[in-house]
Amino acid sequence: MRKLSTPYLLLIPGMGFLFTFFLLPLLNLAQTSTQTPVGGGDTGEYEQSWRFANYLDAFLENKEQFGRSFLYALLATVLALAIAYPLAYTIAFKGGRFKNVLLVLVIAPFFTSFLLRTIAWKQILGEEGPVVPTLRSLHIISESTTLTSSAFAVVMGLTYNFLPFMTLPLYASIDRIDPRTLEASGDLYANGFTTFRRVTLPLSMPGVVAGTLLTFIPAAGDYVNAAILGSPQTKMLGNVIESRYFKIVDYPTAAALSFTLMAAILILVTVYVRKAGTEELV
């Protein structure tokens, strides 16, 4: 009996931690999202009135930020996938004895603060950085065009900051592919592109799905990149939630927005995973 109960006893600390720091705050957030202000909102106090219309009001008032958050997250995910897949493929099949060194370089940005990395991009894309003068000398952008405080800067920041989250799952998936499988494809007269399309990509799909989820989900809720690299016209939903909590002190709207964002991401993730044919990841 003791042996049978040991695994369940080992779960107690973890379950207790999740209950205290995840489930309870989530329940408190749900309760807050249906409150209404006392005295017309002048007192800064709220009472529980179970007003579920807060969700609809919050969504309609911030639907542009909703769409912008998912659009920026999608663009950053696609760009990260385009960069990370060749990188992970090269490390897995061509890295040789330098694999560990290359993997350390991939995760090296994590050794620096997320905030500092984002500020660095503001300098890179600034007037005195290397990007703008180069693009102007090539006549790709005009003399009056700037890259900071723009949607481009926000997407670039999201792509860079979450690139390791895309690269590592891809590497883990590609590295498990038996090279003899690729050789067998060549023996069957498949060219390089056909081998990639019919063998490599299908076998690496768990890594693609995991990497895109690990990139898209935090990118959709991010607010640091939009706050530092963007402008009022590039606000994401995370910026609205942060402002409602700490500046406007509108807790019910902030809570309703948070729950709506979580629900939307959950629905999108479920549909995406099922369409990708990897339901075991859910």
Q: How far apart are CA 39 and CA 239, in angstroms?
A: 27
In a domain, 41, yes or no: no
Give the rounded percent of residues in the chain with a pLDDT score beyond 70: 94
0.85 exceeded by pTM: yes
In a domain, 164, yes or no: yes
Number of other CB atoms surrounding residue 228 within 10 Å: 17
Q: For the chain (length 282 residues), average pLDDT per consecutive 10?
A: 73 92 91 85 78 92 94 97 96 90 92 91 89 89 87 95 95 91 83 88 92 95 93 93 89 93 92 74 45
What pLDDT score was predicted for residue 139? 87
Residue 142: give the domain boundaries.
Answer: 68-235
Output the six-digit token pair for 148.
């900071």
SS3 call for 250: coil
In a domain, 21, yes or no: no
In a domain, 138, yes or no: yes
In a domain, 282, yes or no: no
In a domain, 25, yes or no: no
In a domain, 229, yes or no: yes
Per-residue pLDDT tens digits for 32-63: 999 998 876 666 788 888 999 999 999 999 99
Indicate the number of domains in the chain.
1
Q: How far apart are CA 141 and CA 203, in angstroms?
A: 41
Beta bridge mates, 169: none
Domain of 80, CATH number, reads 1.10.3720.10
In a domain, 117, yes or no: yes
**251-276 helix and 53-61 helix, angle to the nearest 10 degrees:** 80
Q: How far apart are CA 237 and CA 68, in angstroms?
A: 8
Q: How far apart are CA 231 and CA 239, in angstroms?
A: 11
Q: Are 241 and 255 in contact (CB under 8 A)?
A: no
What pLDDT score was predicted for residue 38? 83
